[in-house]
Amino acid sequence: DPDMPFVPSMPEDQFILVEEGDPAVIPCRTSDPDAQVTLVNSLDKSVNALYDTKQGFTGNFPAGSYTCKTMVKGVEFKSDEFLIYIIRATSQLPVEIEALKTVYKTGETIVVTCVVFDNEVVNLQWNYPGKVKEKGLIKLDDIKVPSQKLVYTLTIPEASVKDTGDYECTARHATKEVKENKKVVITVHDKGFVHLEPQFSPLEAVNLHEVKNFVVDVQ
């Protein structure tokens, strides 16, 4: 099509996530297999890369915006702009889950934290008893120093006995078919309780001048 030498791209194709050190494909494809295509960066400088009309440009590109150009009968055409994001990631997915405590009373606030290490972009989902009612508040902290970690915090205000159960986070790798999940069991009691276990009988006899200890275990 001389009026549209570049095949229209889908919006999701214009955002390219690539791991550090991995090659990326900038998918500006042409409707003319013999078209001469040039790749330029945000400074309009030509970028040297391998081109395939069915795929686009392949290479190790720095993060930034890129555009493809071609000429048709002396008229210059530009493709859509493509944005490359470089992400820090490992092939493994180290995940840890932590709860400040695992036993709560009604009315207290439950806090559970899920931490993903050495990966900058992941998809994380929570499963917990109050999820259907969207009771939880989720916060994300992206920490880069001294090392990369994503800290997801799930907070359940005004806990009730119905919030007792499994709290599970599932992390999925942004670019690989890798997932990891961790779980912690939380118990919510209607009210606080104390359990006393005396280590002596209801009636004890003591001899004169005898020293005797009376021990009670308190939980």
User: Which of 126, 180, 187 lies closest to 152, judged by CA?
Assistant: 126
- The chain-wide mean pLDDT, for the chain, equals 91
* pLDDT given at position 37: 94
End-to-end CA distance of the chain, in Å?
80
Residue 86, pLDDT > 90, answer: no
* pLDDT given at position 16: 92
What lies within 8 Å, CB to CB, of 135 at 6+ separation is 156, 157, 163
Cross-strand pairs, 84? 16, 64
Q: Distance between CA atoms of 25 and 86, rounded to whole angstroms?
A: 13
- Say if residue 146 is preceded by a cis peptide, omega within 30 of 0: yes
Q: Span 89-107, mean pLDDT?
A: 90
Share of the chain above pLDDT 70, in %: 100
Cβ–Cβ under 8 Å, residues 69 and 78? yes
Strands 15-19 and 82-87: parallel
pTM of the prediction?
0.61
Neighbours of 51 (CB within 10 A): 19
Cross-strand pairs, 69? 38, 78
**Domains by residue range for the chain, with CATH:** 11-87 (2.60.40.10), 95-189 (2.60.40.10)
* pLDDT given at position 50: 94
Neighbours of 156 (CB within 10 A): 22
Angle at 158 between CA 105 and CA 219, to 5 degrees: 10
User: Which of 141, 139, 70 lies closest to 111, judged by CA?
Assistant: 139
* pLDDT given at position 96: 95
Q: Distance between CA atoms of 31 and 2, rounded to whole angstroms?
A: 8
- pLDDT band of residue 126 (cuts 50, 70, 90) is very high
Q: Which residue has the higher pLDDT, 108 or 20?
A: 108
